[in-house]
Chain A
Amino acid sequence: MGKDQILVRVRDLHKVFHRGSERIDVLQGLNLEVPRGDFLAFMGPSGSGKTTLLNLIAGLDRPTQGAIDVDGQRIDQMSEADLARWRARHTGFVFQLYNLLPVLTAERNVELPLLLTPLSRAERKRHVQTALSVVGLADRAQHYPRQLSGGQEQRVAIARAIVADPTLLLCDEPTGDLDRKSEDEILDLLQALHREYGKTVLMVTHDPHAAARAQRILYLNKGTLSAEPIE
């Protein structure tokens, strides 16, 4: 695979947490390559480091050791300010609990990433309408999160994640708080974003049903990755 086709390259990644005097090696020399346009699911037991890995690739946390290269940029060496700018431009993040701002309408929630761009009010509005249309909620633009179902809230959260057209879409247990019907809707949507819009999607899940929708699955256990589930 050509060098420019690899979007995410992780080399010898270590992440150590300290709880009191206890040292916890969550990631131990992990290596990973994610091609552009991939839909990759990370699976593994609780505490295996799935979310930690996703946070590191999203630039939300810093590795103890190792290198993370996204689209040719070493994000582990960036300053806090540069990293914030990089996140605004390159990542869209979907949380398990949606994490919409309850005081803002769906439209205003989706608009948030665009506030960091030089787009005009009219341009922002157009982008927001497009993103809400992609997730099938154009008619809910003026609704507040409390007026939406869980599935709809997560779709708004996905619209917020894609509105600025990020390089990477990172999803942390995106269906973990949903019923089966809503889960399927969200997974359909993620698949559509991958297939129709060519988005590179990294998804953390403990649900095999959700993971099955991904193009490929990697398993995390004891701080390392493997292509096969570990018994």
Chain B
Amino acid sequence: MRFWPLLWSSLWRKKVRTTFTLLSILVAFLLYGYLAAVNKGFSLGINTGADRLFLRHKVSLSILLPESYLGRIGATPGVVDVVHATWFAGIYQEPKNIFPQLPVDPERYLRLYPEFLLPEDQKQAWFADRTGAVAGRTLVEKFGWRIGDRIPLVSPWRKQDGTSTWEFTLRGIYDGAAEATDTRQFLFHYDYFEEARMFGKGMVGWYIIRIHDPKRAAEMAQRLDSNFANSFHETKTMTEKALVQGFARQIGDIGTIIGAILTAVFFTILLVAGNTMMQSVRERTAELAVLKTIGFSNHLVLTLVLTESLLLAGLGGVVGLGLAYWAIERGDPTGGVLPVFFFPPNDIVLGGVIMVALGLATGILPALQAMRLRVVDAIRRA
């Protein structure tokens, strides 16, 4: 800390230049943090649910499967549990308010998704109410719902009375066990849906299957699909991870796009910050020589220049990541299209590593130059 005033003063030797360099670094890290959250949103579930398989119609997710498959799937060796779900596609109040609404078997579904945390009393209240529903915390906060609220949804699934409006009573609010858990789902009783719908009876959207050994997921998928080979409703089974990756790829390889953007940004910043440090050290040749005359060793001079460079990268980086965190906390920019939107802790740590790497990369050359500086030559040049 005794060198702090020297370091701080040296950093701000040229205030305008340092400010612009800091702003460049800040923007780079702001972009990094924000895109990390977007990337996480697109890749939700890619690293979760390793023991869950997703079984759908071979041709398309939009083609329904018989409900009767439930028993055959459950009886397949290696399957621990299974539940089906169907896309309800309802609209709440306005067409823009679209979120996942699924008619499910409540008990089975919660067994398959233990990461959905629901208080026991709310769970029992939902089980007991045929028109009851539960919703994730994000969804509830977005619409300001409270337990007991009546929630009408207008769905393409017509009811037997010819109307399209389905009413539900909110019986519970679930939280996610992890930050990456999707807390925007709206779940209600399949029995109510099946009984009331006008068409499609006995058909469901897809099956979620828990298997005994996640390492044998590929083999299990093949075995499950072979159960229904050459039938009217052939199936395609994949891991949840593959499913989510498939969705993301429909938009584009988000991870690669984000990676390319960030590589370009950080390469530019490397040049900008590196140039700042080189100039700064070149301008201080005589001053560095004075420090050495006073008794500062070559290694101490090297350390001081490197620390200054790390300080520059660290300052810009910390403020940039802080701003990214603040912006992310303000909410999903897509208005709910992304299932989750948060700053992944791993990416915060990686941001810190990038900061250090940037500081070292931009500082090492000028630091070596400063270390090798010969006092008598430097003073003569000055």
Contact = CB atoms under 8 A, between A and B. Distances in A.
A103 B13 contact: yes
B286 A99 contact: yes
A104 B9 contact: yes
Nearest to B291: A112
A148 interface: no
A112 B289 CA distance: 13
Contacts of A93: 293-294
B382 A112 contact: no
A113 B295 contact: yes
Interface stretch (B47-55, B157-165, B296-304): B296-304
Contacts of B293: 58, 60, 87, 93
Nearest to B287: A101
Contact of A113 (B10, B13, B294): B294
B6 interface: yes
B257 to A, nearest CB: 43
A105 to B, nearest CB: 9
A116 B290 contact: no
A30 interface: no
A216 interface: no
A122 interface: no
B288 to A, nearest CB: 10
A161 B297 CA distance: 17
A121 interface: yes
Contacts of B376: 55, 60-61
Contacts, number: 70
A103 B9 contact: yes
B12 A103 contact: yes
Contacts of B5: 104, 108
A205 B314 CA distance: 47
B356 interface: no
B12 A116 contact: no
A138 interface: no
A112 B9 contact: no
Contacts of A81: 297-299
Q: Which of B3, B290, B382 has the most CB of A within 10 A?
A: B290
A212 interface: no
B292 A97 contact: no
B12 A89 contact: no
B243 interface: no
Given A55-B376, A60-B376, A84 B9 contact: no
Interface residues of B, number: 26
B296 A116 contact: yes
Contacts of B297: 80-81, 84-85
Contacts of A115: 2-3, 6
A32 interface: no
A95 interface: yes
Nearest to A55: B376
A88 interface: yes
A188 to B, nearest CB: 24
Contacts of A160: 294
A80 B298 contact: yes
B368 interface: no
B382 A84 contact: no
Instruction: Count chain A CB atoms within 10 A of each CB in B287, B291, B295 and give the residue with the most.
Output: B295
A116 B293 CA distance: 12
Contacts of A84: 292, 295-298, 300
B203 interface: no
Interface in B77-98: none
B311 to A, nearest CB: 14
A86 B379 CA distance: 20
A37 to B, nearest CB: 23
B265 interface: no
Contacts of A87: 293-295
Contact of A121 (B2, B13, B295, B379): B2
Interface in B159-181: none
Contacts of A85: 295, 297
Nearest to A86: B295
Given A61-B376, A101-B287, A88 B13 contact: no
B248 interface: no
B375 interface: yes
A54 to B, nearest CB: 10
A163 to B, nearest CB: 10
29 contacts: A58-B293, A60-B293, A60-B376, A61-B376, A80-B297, A81-B297, A81-B299, A84-B295, A84-B298, A85-B297, A86-B295, A87-B294, A87-B295, A93-B294, A95-B290, A97-B382, A99-B290, A99-B379, A101-B6, A101-B287, A103-B13, A104-B5, A104-B9, A108-B6, A112-B294, A113-B295, A115-B2, A115-B3, A121-B2
Interface of B: 2-3, 5-6, 9-10, 12-13, 286-287, 289-300, 375-376, 379, 382
Given A55-B376, A113-B294, 8 more contacts: A60-B376, A88-B294, A95-B290, A99-B286, A99-B289, A104-B9, A116-B296, A121-B2
